[in-house]
Amino acid sequence: MDYHFYLARKSQALRARARLTQSLRAYFINRDFLEVETPLRIPAPAPEEHIEAIPADGWFLQTSPELCMKRLLAAGYPRLFQISKCFRKAERGRLHLPEFTMLEWYVAGFDYQKLMAQCEELIRSAAAESAPGSLKRSGRSISLTPGWEKLSVAEAFAKYAPVSMETALAQNRFDEVLVEHVEPRLGAVKPTFLYDYPASLAALAKLKDGHPAVCERFELYIGGLEIANGFSELTDAAEQRQRFDEALKKRAAKHWASYDMPEKFLQALDALPPCAGAALGVDRLAMLCVGADKIDDVVAFAPEDL
């Protein structure tokens, strides 16, 4: 391949991407958030059933900066953000890079509802420079005017899937049905928040007050792309330990790497104030700004180019 020509042709996308990260950063700096840099190489990633970390000299490359950022929050930093590389083993596709760029932010005193509103404001503000008024996917534009759609996961399954959320969960087909029938329909005209995930998919989210079958977790979809994931954070160390234990057992059953329990994070968790946080895929948002078809189009080098 003629890489000189190939890279030169990416100029427009790389410029739009740079403007996007600059405006994301500006949004937080203007609102008195502290930008932090936490280590990329960590001894104990959060045990999750479906996310595998890449080993690095006895430790691991982070799959997300979540644990370190929450330790800072627990120590009294109320508004934090970070734009960093995250690494996930064996994730490669049109929308996946094993090394990708994540924006992660936390706000003390917020719950997931307030965070959804902030997410909307953030994306509108960040896109204002790179893609004024609308984002693009598959040649169609998606309007960012206020009043984004909100659908609970159960409602979205009822609306788009051939089976209910409960049935899909009972048949262990939640992800298949979500990917095949629900995701492609989300955020087609304007962005859609999918919220109130089943409690079994809570990860590090708090269960919903008065409705323990679901958790206070949301995902933002734009043009069928999963862009951001956020929750009202779980602040109960005992419950978090139990969830990590379950995830470790499931990981062991499929012979995935065993992680040490992130003890320092769990110790800090009891001091974590009520807060909410979200992670946003910067590469995918850049794709929407330039109307790119695949994630390779918005990074200078995909792994295969190296």
Partner 1 sequence: MYTASDLRKGLRLKIDNEPYVIIEFNFVKPGKGQALYRTKLKNMLTGAQFDRTFRSVDTFEPADLREKKMQFLYKEEDKYCFMDNETYEQIYLTEDQVGDAKNFMTENIEVEILLFEDKPIGLSLPNFVDLVVTEAEPWAKGDTVSGTTKPVKVETGYTIQVPTFITEGEKIRIDTRTGEYLTRVKG
Which residues of this chain interact with partner 1, rule CB under 8 A? 48-51, 90-96, 174-176, 178-180, 183, 201, 203, 219, 226, 229, 254, 279, 281
**Cβ distance to partner 1 smaller for residue 108 or 177:** 177
**Cβ distance to partner 1 smaller for residue 103 or 178:** 178
Q: How far apart are CA 220 and CA 218, in angstroms?
A: 7
**What's the min distance (Å) between Cβ of 200 and partner 1?**
11
**What's the min distance (Å) between Cβ of 146 and partner 1?**
25
DSSP code string of 224-236: TEEEEEEEEBP--
**Cβ distance to partner 1 smaller for residue 64 or 82:** 64
**Cβ distance to partner 1 smaller for residue 4 or 255:** 255
Q: What angle do CA 203, 67, 253 make, to 5 degrees?
A: 45
**What's the min distance (Å) between Cβ of 243 and partner 1?**
12
Q: How far apart are CA 146 and CA 266, in angstroms?
A: 38
**Cβ distance to partner 1 smaller for residue 172 or 258:** 172
The b/e string for 233-259 (b: 16+ C-beta within 10 A; e otherwise) is bbbebeebeebbeebbeebeeeebeeb
Backbone angles phi, psi at 108, to 5 degrees: -70, 140
SS3 296: helix
**What's the min distance (Å) between Cβ of 148 and partner 1?**
19
Surface-to-core class of residue 167, CB atoms within 10 Å of its CB (0-12 exposed, 13-18 middle, 19+ buried)? middle
Helix axes 112-130, 282-290, angle to 10 degrees: 40
**What's the min distance (Å) between Cβ of 50 and partner 1?**
5
